[in-house]
Each structure stands twice: as C-alpha cells, then as structure tokens.
Structure 1
Amino acid sequence: MKRRPRRSTPATLTAVVLLAACALVAVVAIQMIVGETPWVSYRAVADALHNAHWNDLVPAIAGGVAALLGLILLLAAILPGKLTVLPLDGDLDSGASRRSYRSTLRTAASTVDGVSGAKLTVKRRKVTTKVSTGRTNTEGLAEAVRAALEHRLDQVSPALRPKLKIKVQAARGES
C-alpha cells in the first residue's frame, strides 16, 4: 500500500481560473445578445490583439507566464509526492500513516531513561531524531535511543527500513 497525496490544490486552482474565464465570456456574450453594453468590449480586445506583435514585451511575458504555469502543473501531475501511508512488511496490504509512524517512534525515543524530549523527522529512507536531556554526561544515551528505535521498528516492521540518525542535545550545551 503506497498512498500518495492527492493533487487537489493545483486541480482546484485550474478549475477556478477556467470557471471564472468561462463565466466572464458567457456574461459578455449574453450582454451582447441582449443589446446591453458589455463589461468587456469585444472591439477593444480584438483591436488590442490585432495590434500586438510577437516581438513586443507583453506577448512575450504572457507566453512565458503561461508556459511556466503549464510546466508547474505538469510537474505537479507527474512527480510523485511524499507517501502519506508508508507500506508495512507482511502478507497483507497494510500501511501506517506518516504521522502515526513519526509519533510511535517519538514515543519510543522519549521513553528512554534520561531523555526529556524528542523531535523526529521522517524522510524517504532516513529518520533523524534529536533528543534533549538534562544530563551533563550524555555517554551511551544515543545508543540507548537507537536501541529503543530499532526495537520499535522491529515491532512496526516497515517494508523499507530507514537509517537512523540520532543527535543528543544536553541542557548545558554538551553533546
């Protein structure tokens, strides 16, 4: 199970912009059919476009912006995002959310004797743990945290086992 994030934000923004443009064109067309003065004059827009040259600054900037937006939307559609559900090992199609994975590892690091707090960052193949302690002598604390995290990873059994990086911060600046 490898769930990826939905691409709802780029799709929603594109849909809203296209809807606004279509609504404006429909309102102007209806105003022209009814015989009222339209919000946007068709003649003014047609004349402005007819008088524009390809080597002018405005068409070049508009084309560049359109190409950049198209490239951004294409990359958002093609490139995979971070996994929202991390796959677990086993016969069943199972997974753990990134948030619960981080939370269970943080809890395992915090239960080690001498650790007053833990911050974790979960990346694709690495988990970085920063633990803080009130001890002045931090010798052996990193190994104890590593052992606790390894034990918890054995219990969770992720499909791809991450590398562990542990940093210890002593209250008095010694590490």
Structure 2
Amino acid sequence: MSQVELRRRPSRTVPATVVALVLLVVTAAITVASVSRLLDGTWPTWALDPAGSVARQTWGSAVVVTTGAVLLVVGVVLLLAAVLPGRRSGISVAYTVENAEASEVVITPRGVARLAAAAADEVDGVERVDVSASKGAVRVVVSTSLREDVDAVSAAVQQSVQSRLDVLGTGPVCQVETRVRVKES
C-alpha cells in the first residue's frame, strides 16, 4: 500500500455561492418572464429588449467573442476550484500508529494553539493568555500583573509552550514567539 499524504480540502464556499447566486437570478428572471407570458399572452419588454439585442449579434462580433472568453475563463476557474485539492491545513505530528502500514497524524493549527494556551496558562503569574497559531509559528501573548518579573514570566511561558510542543514532535516547524503585557492595577 502506498503512503498517501493527508489533505483537507477547503470548503470552496465562494465559488459555490457565486454560481448559486447567478443561477438564482437567471432562474428568477426566466420564471417571472414565463408567468408574465402565461398571464398576458406577451413577453415583458425587459425580456424582449435583451433577447432582441442578443439575436441581432453575429458569431464573429466582438461582444459574442468577449462574452465567450469571459465565460470560458470563469468556467475554468470554477472547475479548477472544484477539482484541485486545497493546501495542507494540518501540522504533522511525530506519532506512529501501531498495526498500520502507513499512517500520518496531524493536528490543526487551532489544536496547536489550544495546547500552547494550556501550557502558558499553567505558568505562575499568568493571568490571561491569547494564542494564535499558523503552520510556521505559535504566537503567545500573556498578561500578568507582576511588574518586576516580566522577563522571568516570558522565559517560563516560552519554556512551557516549547516543551509542550516538543512532546508532539512538531519540532522546529512551530517557532514560539512570546510577548508579555503588564496589567495596570
């Protein structure tokens, strides 16, 4: 069995929303024009004018060629958005699964941030923790009311978070950046 890289696909909500809104508008316009035709026996003028201008175009006209090119580009972009996988959204963890031929364990950046926040919160003197994580770095901002021990708190938070992440095996993938804010009393 070959080793498969774990990939999580993004939700692709923007292309899906654009396509859905365009289809909704076109369908609503066609429905309103059809109901008007059924009730009055004639097509509404707002539907006839664009239809007449489209009917007067030739295949080689600039409007038809430009519209076709734009629709082609939009179609290719939407097709690629649906088919191509998204970028990796997890951080690999050095953990092996027993009884598996090939395995990869990953943790989301949000999970890494929660682990870092828990490690920083255990340090004495820390009153509040704000953590953000990306694939390359973990940024920890802690608040403390200890004015004279700011450097000691910063070093302790750095050590605590780094040791917690080292247990995961993420190693140098996650660089830890620590800032300490002193709360005014």
Counterpart-to-counterpart distance in 1, 2:136 and 2:18: 32
Moved more, 7-16 or 115-124: 7-16
In structure 2, relative to structure 1, the CA distance for the partners of 1:29 and 1:167 (3 Å cut) is same
Counterpart-to-counterpart distance in 2, 1:36 and 1:157: 73
Paired residue for 1:7?
12
What's the offset of the Cα at 1:47?
4.2
Counterpart-to-counterpart distance in 1, 2:7 and 2:136: 15
Residue 104 of structure 2 is aligned to residue 99 of structure 1: no
Paired residue type of 2:50 = V
Structure 2 regions of 5+ residues with no counterpart? 1-5, 97-102
Paired positions, count = 160
Task: Report 1:123-142 matches (<5 A).
Answer: 123-137=134-148, 138-142=150-154
What's the secondary structure of 1:5's corresponding residue? coil
Counterpart-to-counterpart distance in 1, 2:171 and 2:9: 16
Counterpart-to-counterpart distance in 1, 2:162 and 2:44: 67
What's the secondary structure of 1:139's corresponding residue? helix
In structure 2, relative to structure 1, the CA distance for the partners of 1:131 and 1:34 (3 Å cut) is same
Paired residue type of 2:152 = G
Q: TM-score, normalised by structure 2?
A: 0.66
Query: Deviations 1:39-64 (Å, cap 9, x if unpaired)?
Result: 4544322345559xx99xxx8xx97x
Paired residue for 1:43?
48
Q: TM-score, normalised by structure 1?
A: 0.69
What's the offset of the Cα at 1:112?
0.6
Paired residue for 2:127?
116
Query: Deviations 1:9-47 (Å, cap 9, x if unpaired)?
Result: 421331232243145336635765887233454432234
Paired residue for 2:3?
none
What's the secondary structure of 1:100's corresponding residue? helix
In structure 2, relative to structure 1, the CA distance for the partners of 1:172 and 1:82 (3 Å cut) is farther
Preserved contact between residue 165 and residue 171 of structure 2 (Cα < 8 Å): no
Preserved contact between residue 87 and residue 159 of structure 1 (Cα < 8 Å): no
Preserved contact between residue 2 and residue 87 of structure 1 (Cα < 8 Å): no
Counterpart-to-counterpart distance in 2, 1:163 and 1:140: 19
Counterpart-to-counterpart distance in 1, 2:105 and 2:116: 18
Residue 93 of structure 2 is aligned to residue 88 of structure 1: yes
Counterpart-to-counterpart distance in 2, 1:11 and 1:42: 27
Paired residue for 2:30?
25
Counterpart-to-counterpart distance in 2, 1:82 and 1:132: 32
Counterpart-to-counterpart distance in 2, 1:128 and 1:6: 26
| RMSD value, Cα | 3.7
In structure 2, relative to structure 1, the CA distance for the partners of 1:17 and 1:135 (3 Å cut) is same
